[in-house]
């Protein structure tokens, strides 16, 4: 282990494995299991998936590298890092607004993320007690509606999930987030592979393969591209300075491009796997692929109803684990900032912020439609906007020597800088403008 770089954060990831698990843990979450399948389903399936993969490669991955690079250079919370760089390099101090947008997006994401996590939480006892036995599509749909309609219960699960976040984040990065991720993520992966095997054997694999791998390009329009872009950013956890915050705890030994590549490929792999687990069931049982946010919660119980109860119970537990390691990363942005900038200790900061977020989350418990709106604003608008800003910041404001010191000299650096400087600002702004216009305009 290398000694912490002087100044800034004193806490650092304890090991490469720990960092990878935390970083993969942030990326792999409800975005893969819950948001990816229904977004793909709503946006034409395989054509969407192709655009999605392109968005990951061209936009998501370079922004991920930029966030790690800038974060490690700064060794502070994202806002403090931006301030440090603009001061040292004599650049406009207004760049901190990027940090503000990121922090706002993270907390907005977190506020509804914990409610979806509460749905998952609620499904665990349901699964273990065999409630799904004999479920067809209709019964499963009714069960989902009843579950989320049970407001007090969902609120209590939301509060419990949030309390666990407070507990772990208050313990710090190495002692809390890293330790939790090291246990939860490997457990998650083992179970997921088991689920895929089952889905392929029991569902309509042929229809799924067709849906996933025979792209119908006529379905691609700017709304689909915008949805794919937002999903790519949401799933990778980029655009809101979360990864910049995690980057601050990196030691110099970590190879940023290699780790970013690993995180992005694992994340994409899990999203595709989730598609493979869910779409066979959708087609096999005649469910509606464009069912929206309920898709995950309606399809999975149908399968679990035909299996020993513990299988579904374990699955939802693991989905909760994945959600948890993502939620803590969103929460860390705010707590880290309070710690650096306001001198508020982690414990106090986590509790205070937790209370505020619980109040906000209460609104979604009572009006589920707000979740769609919050998810669109934060995921499809703020994250890509954050991506544009991070691209310009890392490409034009941060001197090349710093980026070279973080990413290494050579062709890769040139390619990443080219994407950050030109492709990302122009490409994403264009998609944002045309996508929003075609969604709401005329
Ligand atoms: N990537 C997480 C998921 O897929 C959600 C997330 C978004 C986490 C943005 C951090 C930042 O569930």
The 10s digit of each residue's pLDDT in 399-441 is 999 999 999 999 999 999 999 999 999 999 988 888 788 878 7
Q: Indicate the Cα dihedral angle 286, 291, 293, 295, nearest 10°.
A: 0
> What span, in angstroms and rounded, lies between the C-alpha atoms of 159 and 260?
33
Q: Which of 74, 77, 103 is nearest to 87 (CA)?
A: 74
Q: What's the CA angle centered on 208, arms 204 and 212, to 5 degrees?
A: 175
What's residue 287's pLDDT?
Answer: 79
What's residue 7's pLDDT?
Answer: 44
Query: pLDDT tens digits, residue range 142-165?
Result: 999 999 999 999 999 999 999 999
Cβ < 6 Å from ligand 1: which residues? 26-27, 29-32, 109, 234-235, 237, 240, 242, 326, 329-330
What's residue 413's pLDDT?
Answer: 96
Q: What percent of the chain has pLDDT over 70?
A: 95
The structure tokens listed for 206 are 């042929």
Rg (CA), the chain: 21
Are 420 and 66 a contacting pair, CB within 8 Å?
yes
Please name the residue that has the structure tokens 């690993």: 262
What value does the mean pLDDT take over residues 201-213?
A: 70
Alpha helices in 240-382 (DSSP H): 242-247, 256-284, 295-304, 309-342, 346-366, 369-375
Query: pLDDT tens digits, residue range 328-341?
Result: 999 988 888 888 77
What's residue 417's pLDDT?
Answer: 97
Please name the residue that has the structure tokens 């389903």: 41
What's residue 4's pLDDT?
Answer: 36
Helix/strand/coil for 229? helix
Give the residue whose CA is nearest to atom 4 of ligand 1.
31
Which of the four pLDDT bands, split at 50, 70 and 90, describes residue 6?
A: very low
> What span, in angstroms and rounded, lies between the C-alpha atoms of 90 and 77?
20
* CA dihedral sign of residues 86, 87, 93, 99: positive
Are 338 and 353 a contacting pair, CB within 8 Å?
yes
CB burial readout 95-105, b (16+ within 10 A) else e: bbebbebbbbb
The structure tokens listed for 128 are 């273990």
In eight-state DSSP terms, residue 390 is H
Q: How far, in Å, from the CA of 29 to the mean position of ligand 1? A: 6
What's residue 5's pLDDT?
Answer: 35
Q: How far, in Å, from the CA of 439 to the mean position of ligand 1? A: 24
**Other CB atoms within 10 Å distance of the CB of residue 182:** 19
Name the strand (E) or helix (H) holding 146: helix 137-149
Mean pLDDT of the residues in the chain: 88
For the question of whether the overall pTM of this predicted structure is more than 0.85, the answer is yes
Give the residue whose CA is nearest to atom 9 of ligand 1.
237
What's residue 204's pLDDT?
Answer: 67
What's residue 8's pLDDT?
Answer: 60
Q: Which residue among 326, 331, 334 has the greatest number of ligand 1 atoms within 8 angstroms of its CB, and so is best to mutate?
A: 326
> What span, in angstroms and rounded, lies between the C-alpha atoms of 245 and 72?
8
Which of the four pLDDT bands, split at 50, 70 and 90, describes residue 208?
A: confident
Q: Has residue 360 got a pLDDT over 60?
A: yes
Q: Which of 184-193, 280-289, 314-323 has the highest mean pLDDT?
A: 314-323
Query: pLDDT tens digits, residue range 27-56?
Result: 999 999 999 998 988 888 788 899 999 999
Which of the four pLDDT bands, split at 50, 70 and 90, describes residue 132?
A: very high
What value does the mean pLDDT take over residues 94-119?
A: 94
Which of the four pLDDT bands, split at 50, 70 and 90, describes residue 393?
A: very high
Q: Which of 254, 179, 255 is nearest to 1 (CA)?
A: 254
The structure tokens listed for 408 are 């290494």
Q: Which of 345, 359, 433 is nearest to 159 (CA)?
A: 359
């Amino acid at each position: 282990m290398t000694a912490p770089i002087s100044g800034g954060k004193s806490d650092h990831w304890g090991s490469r494995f720990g960092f990878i698990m935390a970083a993969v843990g942030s990326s792999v979450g409800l975005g893969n299991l819950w948001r990816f399948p229904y977004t793909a389903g709503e946006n034409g399936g395989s054509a969407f998936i192709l655009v999605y993969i392109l968005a990951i490669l061209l936009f998501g991955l370079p922004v991920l590298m930029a966030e790690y690079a800038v974060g490690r250079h700064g060794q502070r919370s994202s806002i403090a890092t931006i301030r440090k760089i603009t001061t040292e390099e004599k650049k406009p101090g207004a760049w901190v607004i990027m940090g503000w947008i990121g922090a706002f997006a993270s907390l907005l994401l977190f506020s509804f993320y914990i409610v979806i996590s509460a749905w998952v939480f609620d499904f665990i006892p349901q699964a273990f007690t065999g409630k799904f036995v004999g479920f067809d599509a209709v019964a499963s749909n009714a069960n989902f509606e009843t579950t989320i309609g049970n407001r007090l219960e969902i609120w209590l699960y939301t509060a419990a999930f949030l309390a666990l976040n407070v507990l772990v984040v208050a313990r710090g990065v190495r002692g809390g987030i890293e330790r939790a991720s090291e246990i939860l993520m490997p457990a998650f992966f083992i179970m997921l592979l088991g689920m895929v095997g089952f889905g392929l054997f029991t569902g309509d694999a042929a229809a799924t393969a067709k849906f996933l791998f025979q792209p119908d390009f006529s379905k691609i329009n700017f709304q689909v591209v915008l949805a794919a872009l937002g999903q790519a950013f949401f799933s990778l956890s980029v655009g809101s300075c979360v990864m910049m915050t995690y980057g601050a705890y990196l030691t110099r030994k970590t190879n940023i491009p290699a780790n970013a590549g690993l995180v992005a490929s694992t994340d994409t792999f899990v999203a595709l796997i989730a598609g493979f687990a869910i779409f066979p069931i959708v087609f096999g049982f005649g469910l509606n692929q464009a069912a929206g946010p309920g898709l995950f919660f309606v399809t999975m119980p149908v399968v679990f109803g035909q299996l020993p109860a513990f299988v579904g119970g374990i699955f939802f537990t693991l989905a909760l684990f994945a959600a948890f390691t993502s939620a803590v990363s969103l929460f860390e942005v705010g707590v880290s900032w309070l710690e650096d900038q306001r001198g508020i200790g982690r414990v106090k900061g986590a509790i205070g912020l937790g209370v505020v977020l619980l109040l906000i989350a209460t609104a979604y418990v009572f009006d589920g439609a707000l979740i769609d709106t919050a998810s669109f604003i934060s995921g499809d608008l703020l994250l890509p906007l954050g991506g544009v800003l991070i691209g310009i910041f890392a490409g034009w404001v941060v001197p090349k020597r710093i980026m070279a010191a973080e990413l290494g000299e050579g062709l890769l650096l040139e390619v990443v800088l080219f994407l950050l400087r030109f492709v990302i600002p122009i490409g994403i702004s264009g998609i944002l403008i045309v996508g929003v216009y075609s969604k709401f305009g005329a």
